[in-house]
């Protein structure tokens, strides 16, 4: 029996209807589909599934700037009013749907220093933390690589994310440690997990290089990484977030779950 609770990201299978994915999840032995929206939850629940990580809302500032996405988020003070406005109902809807984790992003640097970006993120997130605490929600900032997939993203090293966690010092904030992204930025995956796991609320996979299948075509040893995760006492979910290249993407998903079932 696997010690890993399995999940996968809906966006990696965007061409497949959500109901088909729900049926596949049950067949494979996956109990969560993540990065969906609150309105998707009745369908997931009808198939006995949960959502380990709710996706993000978006909205426009008075100046017409769309915020909430990866590129424009909490590291800019001028985004905070709109982010609070869109996240508050989103958190309530997530909690009503029984979801405990909601994703957030730092935003891109765009010339902003890392210290200022850190302080700005803390300022904006502090405005949401009382509601998150009231609802039993954890805000989870994703660590992403800024070298290949998300140029200029600010929360691009685990050390920066950990400093934000320490600054906020809240049980309702933590990090999404994406193995693929952090392999690109800093490597040393297992040591990082062992030393910083208290801040890691959720994990994502992905084959490196390429962000495709996590099989022998790539450089990461996922069974060893999964063993390191469970050895920390982690009992949350691991989300598969790779872009399948195989003719049958759901068979790639089944294979990935097998690789990570330690």
- Can you give the residue ranges of every domain in the chain? 54-204
What does DSSP say about strands 66-67 and 59-60: parallel, antiparallel, or unpaired?
Answer: antiparallel
Query: What's the chain's Rg over C-alpha atoms?
Result: 17
| Residues in Cβ contact with 218 at an 8 Å cutoff, skipping those fewer than 6 apart | 207, 208, 209, 210, 212
User: Tell me: the pLDDT tens digits for 137-169?
Assistant: 999 999 999 999 999 999 999 999 999 999 999
pTM of the shown model: 0.97
> What is the CATH number assigned to the segment(s) 54-204?
3.20.20.150
Tell me the torsion sign for CA atoms 56, 57, 63, 65: positive
SS3 61: coil
Q: Chain centroid to CA 5: how far?
A: 15
User: Tell me: the pLDDT tens digits for 32-65?
Assistant: 999 999 999 999 999 999 999 999 999 999 999 9
> Could you tell me the two tokens for 20?
């088909």
Q: Which of 205, 203, 209 is nearest to 229 (CA)?
A: 203
């Amino acid at each position: 029996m696997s010690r890993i609770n399995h999940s996968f990201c809906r966006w990696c299978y965007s061409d497949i209807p959500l109901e088909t994915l729900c049926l596949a999840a049950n067949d494979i032995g996956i109990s969560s589909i993540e990065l969906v929206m609150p309105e998707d939850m009745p369908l997931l629940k009808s198939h006995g599934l949960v959502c380990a990580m709710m996706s993000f809302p978006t909205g426009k500032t008075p100046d017409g700037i769309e915020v909430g996405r990866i590129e424009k988020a909490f590291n800019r003070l001028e985004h905070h009013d709109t982010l609070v406005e869109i996240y508050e109902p989103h958190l309530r809807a997530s909690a009503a749907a029984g979801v405990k984790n909601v994703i957030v992003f730092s935003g891109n640097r765009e010339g902003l220093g890392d210290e200022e970006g850190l302080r700005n993120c803390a300022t904006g997130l502090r405005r949401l933390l009382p509601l998150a605490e009231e609802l039993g929600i954890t805000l989870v900032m994703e660590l992403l690589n800024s070298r290949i997939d998300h140029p200029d993203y600010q929360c691009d090293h685990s050390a920066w994310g950990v400093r934000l966690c320490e600054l906020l010092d809240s049980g309702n904030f933590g990090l999404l440690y994406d193995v693929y992204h952090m392999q690109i930025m800093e490597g040393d995956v297992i040591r990082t997990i062992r030393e910083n796991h208290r801040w890691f609320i959720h994990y994502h996979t992905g084959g490196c290089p390429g962000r495709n299948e996590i099989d022998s075509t790539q450089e990461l040893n996922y069974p060893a990484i999964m063993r390191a995760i469970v050895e920390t006492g982690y009992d949350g979910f691991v989300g598969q977030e790779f872009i399948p290249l195989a003719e049958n993407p759901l068979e790639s998903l089944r294979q990935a779950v097998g690789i990570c079932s330690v």
